[in-house]
A and B are shown apart, each in its own frame.
Chain A
Amino acid sequence: MKKIAGKLVFALLVLFIVIPVAFPLIWILMSSFKTQVDITASPPRWLFEPTLQNYEKVFREQDFLKFFINSTIVGVSATLVSLALGLPAAWSIARFKQTKLNLLILVARIMPGIALLLPWFLIFSRLGLIDSYTALVMAHVIIGLPLVVWIMSSFFEQVPLEIEESARVDGATRQRTFLSIILPISSPGVVTATTLSFLFSWNNFMFSQVLSMERTRTLPIAVYNFVSYAEIDWGAVMAAAVVIIAPAIVLTMFFQKYVIRGLTMGAVKG
């Protein structure tokens, strides 16, 4: 009897965690299928006839497909560049204990974005790079690069030195060892770093808000623009929110083990 009561209390406690976490997302999803009449009803309606008109609006009236593609282009490019720059740097930091270098790259993590955005805006304007993919991707690399270095240097530290040395005795160069032995061993880390750096780029608002215009506009800006105009079409706004949040959630669920590790590792390592 006492055991059952304990289990019940525990289930209740878990419910107290689950409901607040999940409810806002469920409400967004529900609202995206409501008509304007249902969504502006007071009190809020729990039962309603679902409609797809909001999604139709988002893709037909607003060019969301284009913003979706833009976000993907910027996210993928920024992630690839971050990996290309960050992986060798992280290995070198781990292998040669280059702590000062590590510190330099990690400062980007605590830097207020606007302190960079102000000079970027001035410089990129002068170079005619406002509203270019180049400028956006470079800005997003400043988010991705510290992530890659942070995550990967701790993965590389765990690779035993002997593995590398035996390869070198066999005559392999450092770059060969790195590419064909160290990187494959550390592939869980690479998956973690890739997923997180794409997610952070996908969700970034501030940099794109200033550096992108008509041509390169990304999803967060498009969603934001939905509410800055006159009367708010709440249904369409919620549908737009779903369009931007859903890919991030699908990606996270697919790689959940890696995402949890990436988000929590810095702290546990100490």
Chain B
Amino acid sequence: MLDGKFLDRHAKVLFPLPAVLFTLALMVFPVLYTLWVSFTNWNLASGLPPRFVWFKSYATVFAEPRFWGAFVRTLYFTGIAVAAETVLGVVWALVLNREFVGKRTIKAMMLLPLVATPVAIGIAWTLFYEPTIGIANWALKLFGLQGSRWIADPDFVLPALAIIDVWQWTPLIALITLAGLAGLSQEPYESARVDGANGWQIFWHITLPMVAPAVLTAVLLRSIDALKTFDIIYSTTQGGPGFASETLNIYSYNLSFNYFRLGQAAASLVFLFALVLSFSALVARLRRRLGL
């Protein structure tokens, strides 16, 4: 019973202890390790032991046009994907925000893209995008439009990949917004109606400001994940054609596990992590500034 009492008295420390130790061992230590590697010139392919070179790996990476290409593509992909998801998701939520027969079924259906395995989805879209046998070009022709080469076209591969991301994640923004709409108080609506506001004014001045916190959080969550997108890109193009869809995550992966240039890979990863972290901090500040 002594053990039981000990645990009882020190619950504050002992309850979270296993989780903390695990996180230290599998996250904090590896991150510090990556940080250390980024200051070395470690290259597994050369067979030489790693040497501490301060910022030289960073300098090498930052001097590579391929890195900056990947950086721009990461922002471009995230930007178009999350923007489309937000607009579509909010519109969907507004449409569905009423009681109707089959609402539960439709909400359940919207979960399907969210839980479908991304790699399998990426591979399936490769077939949809196939120029001759794919359903995508068939649909374009149905509307009298010219077929596209989709992910095989270096100029269109990123939007084409963003479409997959939009298909998979718009439901998340819609569901979050819908949950936010469901929690709104009815009072402002009633007084607005008494004052004779029209539908658009009500949406713009009442609904939108009130759901904004929910939407903004959804956008933050999506952006963090979109900046790190891996499965969809790797399973469709692996960064190709050429480097046309190589984002920072794919670039870092290639540096690590295809070229074994660990020092440079680590430097690029530290950069990506800093990007995601500062983006999160920025949104958090924006929320506080706007009082959301």
- A→B interface (CB under 8 Å): 10, 13-14, 17-18, 20-22, 24-25, 27-28, 31, 39-44, 84-86, 88-89, 91-93, 96, 98, 101, 104-105, 107-123, 138-139, 141-142, 145, 149, 173-175, 178, 199, 202-203, 205-206, 210, 219-220, 223-224, 226-227, 234, 237-238, 240-241, 244-245, 248-249, 251-253, 256, 259-260, 263-264, 266-268, 270
Contacts of B256 in A (CB 8 A): 114, 117-118, 121
Contacts of B115 in A (CB 8 A): 199, 203, 248-249, 251-252, 259
Contact with A along B113-153 (1 / 0, CB 8 A): 11111111101111110001111001001000000000000
Task: Determine if B175 and A89 form an interchain contact, defined as CB atoms under 8 angstroms apart.
Answer: no
Task: Determine if B120 and A89 form an interchain contact, defined as CB atoms under 8 angstroms apart.
Answer: no
Minimum CB distance partner of A39 in chain B = B133
In the complex where A44-B138, A119-B34 touch, is A267 in contact with B214 (Cβ < 8 A)? yes
In the complex where A105-B23, A107-B27, A264-B175 touch, is A96 in contact with B12 (Cβ < 8 A)? yes
In the complex where A24-B125, A112-B276, A267-B217 touch, is A89 in contact with B92 (Cβ < 8 A)? no
Task: Determine if B34 and A85 form an interchain contact, defined as CB atoms under 8 angstroms apart.
Answer: no
In the complex where A17-B106, A248-B115, A268-B179 touch, is A104 in contact with B20 (Cβ < 8 A)? yes
Task: Determine if B119 and A223 form an interchain contact, defined as CB atoms under 8 angstroms apart.
Answer: yes
In the complex where A13-B95, A203-B117, A259-B115 touch, is A114 in contact with B127 (Cβ < 8 A)? no
Instruction: State the Cβ distance, B109 to closest chain A Cβ, in Å.
Output: 6
- Contact partner of A118 (CB less than 8 A), chosen from B230, B234, B262, is B262
Contacts of A238 in B (CB 8 A): 124, 127
- A174 and B9 CA atoms in complex are apart in Å by 8
Interface majority SS on B: helix, strand, loop or mixed? helix
Minimum CB distance partner of A265 in chain B = B179
- A260 and B23 CA atoms in complex are apart in Å by 27
Please, could you name 19 A-B residue pairs with CB atoms under 8 Å apart, sorted by A?
A10-B100, A24-B124, A25-B116, A39-B133, A89-B16, A108-B27, A119-B34, A175-B4, A205-B230, A206-B234, A220-B231, A260-B107, A260-B175, A264-B176, A264-B178, A267-B176, A267-B180, A268-B183, A270-B217
- Contact partner of B116 (CB less than 8 A), chosen from A10, A122, A245, is A245
Q: Interface residues of B toward A: which range?
A: 35 or more
Minimum CB distance partner of B213 in chain A = A270
In the complex where A88-B19, A174-B8 touch, is A20 in contact with B111 (Cβ < 8 A)? no
Contact with A along B9-33 (1 / 0, CB 8 A): 0011001101110110011111101
In the complex where A175-B4, A205-B230 touch, is A89 in contact with B135 (Cβ < 8 A)? no
- B→A interface (CB under 8 Å): 4-5, 7-8, 11-12, 15-16, 18-20, 22-23, 26-31, 33-34, 37, 92, 95-96, 100, 106-121, 123-128, 132-135, 138, 141, 167, 171-172, 175-176, 178-180, 183, 213-214, 217-218, 221, 224, 228, 230-231, 234-235, 249, 252-253, 256-257, 262, 265-266, 269-270, 272-273, 276-277, 280
Contacts of B213 in A (CB 8 A): 267, 270
Q: Which 4 A-B pairs have the closest CB atoms?
A: A89-B19, A267-B217, A119-B30, A241-B120
Contacts of A253 in B (CB 8 A): 108
- A241 and B120 CA atoms in complex are apart in Å by 5
- Contact partner of B23 (CB less than 8 A), chosen from A28, A42, A145, A173, is A145
A115-B273, A253-B108 known; 8 other A-B pairs, CB under 8 Å? A10-B95, A25-B116, A91-B15, A114-B230, A115-B34, A141-B22, A248-B117, A267-B180
Task: Determine if B123 and A17 form an interchain contact, defined as CB atoms under 8 angstroms apart.
Answer: no
Contacts of B183 in A (CB 8 A): 268
In the complex where A104-B20, A267-B214 touch, is A256 in contact with B138 (Cβ < 8 A)? no
- Contact partner of A220 (CB less than 8 A), chosen from B12, B22, B117, B269, is B117
Task: Determine if B230 and A28 form an interchain contact, defined as CB atoms under 8 angstroms apart.
Answer: no
Minimum CB distance partner of A145 in chain B = B19
Task: Determine if B95 and A14 form an interchain contact, defined as CB atoms under 8 angstroms apart.
Answer: yes
- A27 and B138 CA atoms in complex are apart in Å by 13
Task: Determine if B127 and A223 form an interchain contact, defined as CB atoms under 8 angstroms apart.
Answer: no
Task: Determine if B272 and A264 form an interchain contact, defined as CB atoms under 8 angstroms apart.
Answer: no
Contacts of A84 in B (CB 8 A): 18
Task: Determine if B257 and A224 form an interchain contact, defined as CB atoms under 8 angstroms apart.
Answer: no
* Most chain A CB within a 10 A radius of its CB, from B92, B112, B230: B112
- A259 and B150 CA atoms in complex are apart in Å by 33
In the complex where A110-B276, A142-B27 touch, is A174 in contact with B124 (Cβ < 8 A)? no
Task: Determine if B280 and A110 form an interchain contact, defined as CB atoms under 8 angstroms apart.
Answer: yes
Contacts of A199 in B (CB 8 A): 115
In the complex where A24-B167, A110-B276, A253-B108 touch, is A267 in contact with B16 (Cβ < 8 A)? no
- A98 and B14 CA atoms in complex are apart in Å by 13
Task: Determine if A202 and B117 form an interchain contact, defined as CB atoms under 8 angstroms apart.
Answer: yes
- A44 and B31 CA atoms in complex are apart in Å by 48
In the complex where A249-B116, A252-B111 touch, is A88 in contact with B18 (Cβ < 8 A)? yes
